[in-house]
Amino acid sequence: ATGSTPLGLYAELAKLCAEGKLSFAKCTTFNLDEYIGLDGTHDQSYRYFMNKNLFEKVDIRMEATHVPSGAVKSDEEAEQYDAEIKAAGGIDLQLLGIGNNGHIGFNEPDDHFSKGTHCVDLTESTIQANSRLFDSIDDVPRQAYTMGTQTIMYARMILVVANGEAKAQAVHDMCYGPVTPECPASILQLHTNCVVVADEAALSLCE
């Protein structure tokens, strides 16, 4: 996962690795999503984010790291991503953040749940939320590739991390709302091995 939420976790993992308490030498990773139109060298691309915040700070083999390629729009290439995950043996642990609107990866509120990795049009709320990281809102890409809801649900274990009051409604709806594609994270209620770690502000609407 990318975004602000996992930064503390990635810093901690890098620290443990530097102290020799943890190794990524045998890990293979698959990221959730990537903006379409940003090359991996763009400082707001998720490939760049992962390299800077985790991969370059641990002993992972770069060739074992996978991020959907958004540099050139190729839906066919994106659809190969699920086959690559399957060939690698599936995902053992899927780390997730959650959007203010309940999205997971870039699976935005919709009238149906998505399946495999696919192209999405980002919602205004996501464009708005992510514009804080760009010079102007006009620079935020309008589309992304994302693992589908089914891709995520295939993971053997899911860890959702959420911080802050802005996430309170989404965290409540994820855990206690109806299972509906209008809150994509709500489908995690049906996963048999999903853990949510959140601060008090994010949990403030949960009794």
Q: 121 an active-site residue?
A: no
Q: For residues 67 and 98, which CB has a smaller minimum distance to ligand PGA in the complex?
A: 98
Name the catalytic one among 34, 82, 108, 173. 108
Shortest CB 157 distance to ligand PGA, Å: 18
Q: For residues 78 and 147, which CB has a smaller minimum distance to ligand PGA in the complex?
A: 147
SS (H, E, C) 66-117: ECCCCCCCCHHHHHHHHHHHHHCCCCCEEEECCCCCCCECCECCCCCCCCCC
Per-residue CA distances from 128 to 27, 38, 110, 141, 185 (Å): 34, 18, 18, 11, 20
In the bound state, the residue with its beta carbon closest to ligand PGA is: 3
Q: For residues 128 and 189, which CB has a smaller minimum distance to ligand PGA in the complex?
A: 128
Q: For residues 64 and 203, which CB has a smaller minimum distance to ligand PGA in the complex?
A: 203
What does the binding site for ligand PGA look like in residue numbers (CB under 6 A)?
3-5, 97-99
DSSP category for residue 204: T
- Token readout for 1 is 């996962």
Q: 66 an active-site residue?
A: no
Shortest CB 1 distance to ligand PGA, Å: 7
Q: 53 an active-site residue?
A: no
Name the catalytic one among 31, 33, 130, 173. 33
Structural contact between residues 118 and 145, judged by C-beta atoms closer than 8 angstroms: yes
DSSP category for residue 26: T
Q: For residues 85 and 98, which CB has a smaller minimum distance to ligand PGA in the complex?
A: 98
Shortest CB 21 distance to ligand PGA, Å: 25
Residues 149 and 188: their CA atoms lie apart, in Å, by: 9
The set of residues, in sequence order, having a beta carbon less than 8 Å from that of 5 and lying 6+ positions away, is: 97, 161, 162, 163
Q: 103 an active-site residue?
A: yes
Name the catalytic one among 31, 34, 103, 130. 103
Name the catalytic one among 31, 101, 107, 130. 101
Shortest CB 20 distance to ligand PGA, Å: 29
3-state secondary structure of 195: strand
Please give the positions annotated as active site. Answer: 33, 101, 103, 108
